[in-house]
A and B are shown apart, each in its own frame.
Chain A
């Protein structure tokens, strides 16, 4: 074992961690907001249901890699896209990757939230209606808090999937963790050691994330944690 090489590689790879975390954080956060909007639109607004179903079908039915390519190489083909104020963002691989990751996770997230919405007891909703809650308030105070709690374990998996999916951003030249790993390998041809290092870092991130999601779950569910008195 060449410990000097390993520690040197680790150092270089760790420099890519902030980018990996950034991509994951921004896209899962934006994706979660979008997911909630899509799921609620599908549940509460009939004309939107078809759109949401199509959206989910297309984004889950095609590889994320393809979606990143399409956005990075495809959007610039349209003159009108180049004319929008978004073009300064969309011409950068960073924002293309974030956009692709966001709309992709939103599709999976919308399905997870939909499951959560379906699990909300009808009685809880009825009690809210009987108390005179307008629809928006009902969603904000009763339906979504229950649905999101219900969806959290599945959503935790989606977040972890997203952290690993950020590695695809390397194909549009982003130097996140995997991008740096490839570049080291292309210089040194020592794939095994480099991938072992990169894998270890992903494992640590995933471990911390798993604990964090479990912590949030416990924190949000005191009514399940507490034993019957």
Chain B
């Protein structure tokens, strides 16, 4: 079976700073992969390379078996076909640390925006689906509220509904709870947990170790731009083979 997401030999640098040093990763359908690692290890950059929010200098990216075509533009790598990139982006859902909702739109408008204008689905159908999604994330009564009127937890749940509205093959979460007050973390994790239980394909960058251990089918420890260790969460969190992984886990579980 073709993997939902396949990264191979991804290299990414910012100036002299080589952030990803050849990362390969496959996510199969239904897998929930948590990506952990120290600050600056390249977790966000790796996740952002998947929908080409960052362009890797080398390596290949395939979504649903379709490889992103790249070319060299002025000595730098760039996507060869913007249409292809936009189409592939629309087949993924990205959830940001800072929610990144569109402040001038209501909750419902945020959710139907891309289905209607990018995927060109009928408006009525998009609204019906959005209402069901808002129900699911517990925000049915907030459909006409604006982001500024919502708590952080409600904003992030709106962002999750917005990502789901694309009917994505996979969901990508970049520290979805890091910007939240501690008492609001639970409500967002609960929604993500439900999505995992539905069998959705997800990649989750997180510092919530207990949650990662609990929800994921595989854990990846990233160190200095490389995958240091990966495997079933039970092993990574309880009996890692790498000293670095062990030290990282120990530091984070004792907080």
Residues of A bordering B, CB below 8 Å: 121, 123-124, 126-134, 137, 141-142, 145-146, 149, 220-224, 226-229
Contact = CB atoms under 8 A, between A and B. Distances in A.
21 contacts: A121-B103, A126-B53, A127-B101, A127-B102, A128-B102, A129-B53, A129-B89, A130-B51, A130-B53, A130-B96, A132-B90, A132-B114, A142-B102, A145-B104, A146-B103, A222-B146, A223-B103, A223-B148, A226-B148, A227-B149, A228-B148
A220 B103 CA distance: 12
Contact of B114 (A126, A133, A224): A133
B94 interface: yes
B145 interface: yes
A63 to B, nearest CB: 37
Nearest to B118: A132
A149 B102 CA distance: 13
A51 B94 CA distance: 37
Contact of B96 (A123, A137, A227): A123
Interface of B: 51, 53, 82-83, 85-92, 94, 96, 98-104, 113-114, 117-118, 145-149, 159, 162, 166
Contact of B100 (A123, A137, A141, A146): A123
A224 B148 contact: yes
A131 B103 contact: no
Contacts, number: 83
B100 A127 contact: yes
A223 B148 CA distance: 6
Contact of A223 (B94, B96, B147): B147
Contacts of A131: 89-90, 94, 113-114, 118, 162, 166
A132 B82 CA distance: 10
B31 to A, nearest CB: 21
Contacts of A221: 104
Contacts of A227: 149
Looking at A124, A131, A134, A226, the one whose CB has the most chain B CB atoms below 10 A away is A131
A134 B92 CA distance: 15
Contacts of A229: 145, 149
A55 B102 CA distance: 33
Contact of B149 (A126, A145, A146, A223): A223
Contacts of A146: 102-104
A141 B117 contact: yes
A219 to B, nearest CB: 12
